[in-house]
Copies of this chain bind each other. A is one copy, B any other.
């Protein structure tokens, strides 16, 4: 039940502040610290933490690169919470694309910080790095450009159409009727789109659709 945490930040002051907040919780333990992205990988490999608090801006290897390294190498890697100063940080989408599970603003109240840590640690397969990544891609597509390396994981038009209908609560048979297609075809689209989103079932896919803004609350 105990959640182990690694803290990565180039500012010792921030590190100790985060450490104090985390260690004050009985169910959270800091098992390691790093001052730069380059140091992270061995520490994580050694300590196998549940969650990594990762600063974005760091001298040599920044948080994005470090996250990428971390999650490419390890399976299943730790959850990465990116720590940032500003809300509209352009790094946000990059970090999501690299596989981060969420964000913390440095001015977030301690109680919310620890809660966020528990949330991501707890969500074993809940909220779904790949899904968030494809969310980031979707957002990026509507705004930025940046050749991002990985850009699989976005949905074809048909898949988007199917997802939209799924998000209206329709069954495969209903979707098939709506689109004048066979149920088998819909099942294929659903299966493909689930895989791309990293969702386990249609419910998770619909959640992702909402969370990513792919469908909006009416």
What residues of chain A have their CB less than 8 Å away from a CB belonging to chain B? 102, 123, 126-128, 166-171, 199-204, 206-207, 210-211, 213, 217-218
Q: Residues of B contacting A201 with CB < 8 Å?
A: 171
Q: Which residue of B lies closest to A170 (CB)?
A: B126
What are 25 A-to-B residue pairs whose CB atoms are below 8 Å?
A102-B218, A123-B168, A126-B168, A126-B169, A126-B170, A127-B168, A127-B169, A128-B169, A166-B203, A167-B207, A168-B207, A169-B199, A169-B200, A169-B204, A169-B207, A171-B200, A202-B203, A203-B203, A203-B206, A210-B210, A210-B217, A211-B217, A211-B218, A213-B217, A217-B217
Q: Residues of B contacting A217 with CB < 8 Å?
A: 210-211, 213, 217
Q: Residues of B contacting A127 with CB < 8 Å?
A: 168-169
Contact residues of A: prevailing secondary structure: loop
- In the complex, the 5 A-B pairs of residues with the closest C-beta atoms, listed nearest first: A169-B204, A203-B203, A210-B210, A169-B207, A202-B203
CA distance A127 to B206 in the complex (A): 15
Minimum CB–CB distance for A158 against chain B, Å: 19
CA distance A46 to B11 in the complex (A): 75
Q: Residues of B contacting A169 with CB < 8 Å?
A: 126-128, 199-200, 203-204, 207
CA distance A201 to B210 in the complex (A): 17
Q: Residues of B contacting A170 with CB < 8 Å?
A: 126
Q: Residues of B contacting A171 with CB < 8 Å?
A: 200-201
Copies in the complex: 2
Q: Residues of B contacting A102 with CB < 8 Å?
A: 218
CA distance A126 to B199 in the complex (A): 22
Known: A127-B169, A169-B199. 8 other contacts (CB 8 A): A126-B170, A128-B169, A168-B207, A169-B204, A203-B203, A203-B206, A206-B206, A211-B218
Minimum CB–CB distance for A166 against chain B, Å: 7
CA distance A203 to B211 in the complex (A): 14
Minimum CB–CB distance for A59 against chain B, Å: 30
CA distance A170 to B204 in the complex (A): 8
